[in-house]
Amino acid sequence: MDSIHRVRQRNRLGDPLDCYRCPIATLRLSAKLEMMSLKPKMSDQLKIINVAGARPNLPKIAPLLREMRCHPEIESVLVHTGQHYDEKLSDIFFKEMCIPAPSVNLGVGSASQAAQTAEILRRIEPVLLEQRPALVLVVGDVNSTFATALAATKLGIPVAHVEAGLRSFDRSMPEEINRVLTDAISDYLFVTEEGAIENLVREGRPPSSIYFVGNVMIDSLRHFLPLAEKSRIGHELGLFEKSWRPFAVLTLHRPSNVDSIEHLDRLLSAIDAIAVQVPVIFPVHPRTWQRVTQSGTEHHRNLRFIPPVGYLDFLCLLNKASLVLTDSGGIQEETTALGVPCLTLRENTERPVTISEGTNLLVGADFEKIVTSARNVLAGKRKVGRIPPFWDGKAAQRIVEILLRLVPRRKGMASNASTQIGLGTSDALKHDSGSRSTAKKGVGKPSQLRKETARKSHL
Taken in order of first residue, the domains within the chain and their CATH numbers are 40-215+391-456 (3.40.50.2000), 231-378 (3.40.50.2000)
Buried b vs exposed e over 416-442: b needs ≥16 C-beta within 10 Å? ebeeeeeebbeebbeebeebeeeeeee
Q: What is the mean pLDDT of the chain?
A: 83
| 3-class DSSP string for 216-249 | HHHHHHHHHHHHHCCCCHHHHCCCECCCECCCEE
Q: Catalytic: 84?
A: no
Model-level pTM? 0.82
Asked if 27 and 179 touch (Cβ cutoff 8 Å), the reply is: no
Question: What one-letter code names the amino acid at 249?
Answer: V
Q: How far apart are CA 359 and CA 30, in angstroms?
A: 39
The H-or-E segment that residue 271 falls in is helix 261-275
| Nearby residues of 126 by Cβ (< 8 Å), 6 or more positions away | none
pLDDT at 216: 98
- Helices assigned H by DSSP within 155-215: 174-185, 194-202
Q: Please give the Cα distance from 18 to 34 (Å, whole number).
A: 18
Q: Is 281 exposed, middle or buried (0-12, 13-18, 19+ CB in 10 A)?
A: buried
Query: Residue 324: phi, psi to the nearest 5?
Result: -125, 135
Q: Report pLDDT for 36.
A: 43
The 3-state DSSP class for residue 76 equals: strand
Is residue 345 helix, strand or coil?
A: coil
From the centroid of its chain, how far is CA 194?
17
Cβ atoms 64, 137 nearer than 8 A: yes
The pLDDT value given to residue 182:
98
SS3 43: helix
Catalytic residue among 223, 253, 431, 458: 253
Answer yes or no: are the C-beta atoms of 46 and 76 closer than 8 Å. no
DSSP 266: H
> What pLDDT score does 417 carry?
37
Instruction: Tell me the C-alpha distance between 363 and 149, whole Å.
Output: 34
Q: Low-confidence residues of the chain, pLDDT below 70? A: 1-43, 85-89, 297-298, 411-459
In whole angstroms, what is the distance from residue 140 CA to residue 61 CA?
9
Residue-level pLDDT at 299: 72
Kindly calculate the radius of gyration of the chain based on its CA atoms and give it in whole angstroms.
22
Q: Can you give the pLDDT at residue 291?
A: 83
User: For the sheet containing 74-80, what is the strand order?
Assistant: 104-105, 74-80, 46-52, 135-139, 159-162, 188-191, 210-212
Whether the CB-CB separation of 183 and 205 falls below 8 Å is answered with yes
